[in-house]
Structure 1
């Protein structure tokens, strides 16, 4: 392997690596000695898992031993003894047939670095690097390193070779955010369901009013640092960034959202430098999950953190131009949970004078009426067809064509939300909550949104009900269909998956907290 070229490839994907990170990925010396030099102190070893296992075909081939030979499998956390900060997560495989008895005993029974065990027994060997790469943090590694799930981790694999045979094969992992020499901020946001707008009539002097649920998955994950000019990159290393969920047609639009929000925030602060963003994870735009608001507020929050300026989330949303109709996305970013907002004053002296979606409104985010924790044992199945919901000029036209909504529908919705949906939530009555969701689909502006969907969206909603969901709804303008369920979620996911070609179906839960922010 040409290590110089491989490092260059990784930097093309992720952004720059620090000198310390390059050293940790490519050193052919003792990793513990290298770490102690970098931190200026002593490291410790904590064994998280260790047992004798039989080599399967893959491990046997890698180690050059026979199938079912005994292997010492060891997982350790290497940490800074001064502050207990985790530095490296390492997995090693050592064939017992090739190790000396005393060496094996120390390896199996003591929290001692492998390099120091080898020094103790004066074992002459060399290290051969097999691979350097990157991966994402799963739940276990996010807890070990205190990073967000899906954050980028750097990874390498090497073998310790003695007399031409592999004595130990080792995988080492550490966060991309570790051993950095630049100040950065990373933000993880939720997504959200928008259940309905309540009042698009306005005769009582207020308009809008949103109801929504914050979702734990999918999530938007973005990393930012101060730069000469504002730009947006992803795992592809270019402005046309590559992300898992987003069709290529939306890439420029995502970048525009982030750049536009960033420029508004920088202009508000009177700052002339830029911000470089790296999108680490995202989800589609215009599918009813609120990605535009989340990425815009995240960009604004990143600017405020990078330049040390404190703003509330509502202030950031106002500056970047979000929350002009519904406040659900802003409140989801701020605190998560089940959300009911108060809408906007309406009329000649009101904040809003016309029926407009958030994307075309200059109003401030509305105040909250209530925010409740949503039961985390209730499951939410998301079906996300490969089409786009109404947005832009079409969305504006729909508001103009179908508003005002009949006052009777506004009153029915208000009664349904106040005296059925919210009590069901507080009493954790999933059947009653589901009934409220179902009735909302036939009432007010939500009835309009559902009626404008392609026929197969309505068929998808009916199928989800037939499969056992307590309540099924369309999020915002769609096309995402959601089902409220419990332990039936597996059957619903499989059934809906068959309708969607076994893709774009997510089982998630509510998220009762907002976005997470960390600097490093």
Structure 2
């Protein structure tokens, strides 16, 4: 849902807010094998994760990883972190290593900027992380809150492309001008004294307004390297339409191109989904309704 301090004015960089979702996820299992084999969606990425984790943890990689589902890559939904943590957590359980989620994240080299992916794996719900300071191993969770059960998120996908990632992402950050400290102070103030209290009081309108303001500020900052507040003009059009229909928390997740918004109930979400599918028929867009996951990642067996 966005960064809250890109200025680093207080010695900590990034800091972010995000939410765990149920309907789009990564699920896998691990078993003993004569040699490393990986099957299912995202197999090549998972293979790299296994190699890195087993080398750092000092355990054999004679395993079979069966991937039942994987978050699509590079569309802003934390696919890399969730795959790395799922692989690491499964191998940790398989070998009885006794590592914490934070230790798994460090061995998997995750959390270079946002700590949201680690936080939602560890705790679920809405997560605010404190960014990176001079001695940070993984960004600390400074707030974790449950999302009211009726709330729903609508995701808008542009099926033609991916957001910036890898070397492109590193280059983009290096090209951006400094983020104004006054803007970072404003976003932190809005989140702490309006957004999070509104979430605690189940006030979607107030919470959503803060997320929209945060997204607008960060999107404008990223616009020179991603082509606008939204990476995809078509997603931008759909998000404008959703805002007109009363959806809130309008934004783009990470570098996109996926857009998101929030509504107060499953019924409202279903009505908007039908309207979106009708209005944007024939476009490169697709849509999904998602619910918040207020629990940590689930580990079975071992």
Shorter-chain TM-score above 0.5: yes
CA RMSD of aligned residues (A): 1.9
Q: Which has the higher contact order (CA 8 A, sep 6+)?
A: 2
- Aligned equivalents of 1:323 and 1:446: distance in 2? 24
What is the total number of aligned residue pairs between the two structures?
Answer: 293
- Aligned equivalents of 2:214 and 2:57: distance in 1? 42
Question: Which SS does the other structure have where 2:103 is aligned?
Answer: helix
Residue of structure 2 equivalent to 1:394? 168
Distance change in 2, residues 1:316/1:296 (3 Å): same
Residue of structure 2 equivalent to 1:111? none
Contact 1:208 1:344 in 2 (8 A): yes
Contact 2:151 2:291 in 1 (8 A): yes
The one of 216, 227, 239 aligned to 2:22: 216
Residue of structure 1 equivalent to 2:12? 206
Contact 1:467 1:495 in 2 (8 A): no
Query: CA deviation digits over 1:194-240, x for unaligned, max 9?
Result: x1111121121111101111111112111111223222112xxxxxx
Task: Give the superposition deviation at 1:446.
Answer: 6.2
Q: Does 1:322 align with 2:140?
A: no
Higher strand residue share: 1
Residue of structure 2 equivalent to 1:27? none
Query: CA deviation digits over 1:50-83, x for unaligned, max 9?
Result: xxxxxxxxxxxxxxxxxxxxxxxxxxxxxxxxxx
The one of 264, 273, 292 aligned to 1:493: 273
Structure 1 segment 93-132 matched on structure 2, within 5 A: none
Contact 1:434 1:470 in 2 (8 A): yes
Contact 1:378 1:484 in 2 (8 A): yes
Distance change in 2, residues 1:461/1:229 (3 Å): same
Contact 2:195 2:210 in 1 (8 A): yes
TM-score, normalising length from structure 1?
A: 0.54
Question: Which SS does the other structure have where 2:20 is aligned?
Answer: strand
Task: Give the superposition deviation at 1:364.
Answer: 2.6
Task: Give the superposition deviation at 1:501.
Answer: 4.3
- Aligned equivalents of 1:431 and 1:209: distance in 2? 23
Question: Which SS does the other structure have where 2:288 is aligned?
Answer: strand
Segments of structure 1 that go 5 or more residues without pairing to the other structure are: 1-194, 235-242, 244-253, 352-362
Query: CA deviation digits over 1:467-520, x for unaligned, max 9?
Result: 221231111111111111023212211222232649731111111001111127
- Bigger Rg, structure 1 or 2: 1
Segments of structure 2 that go 5 or more residues without pairing to the other structure are: none
Higher helix residue share: 2
Residue of structure 2 equivalent to 1:463? 241
The one of 121, 124, 143 aligned to 1:370: 143
TM-score, normalising length from structure 2?
A: 0.91
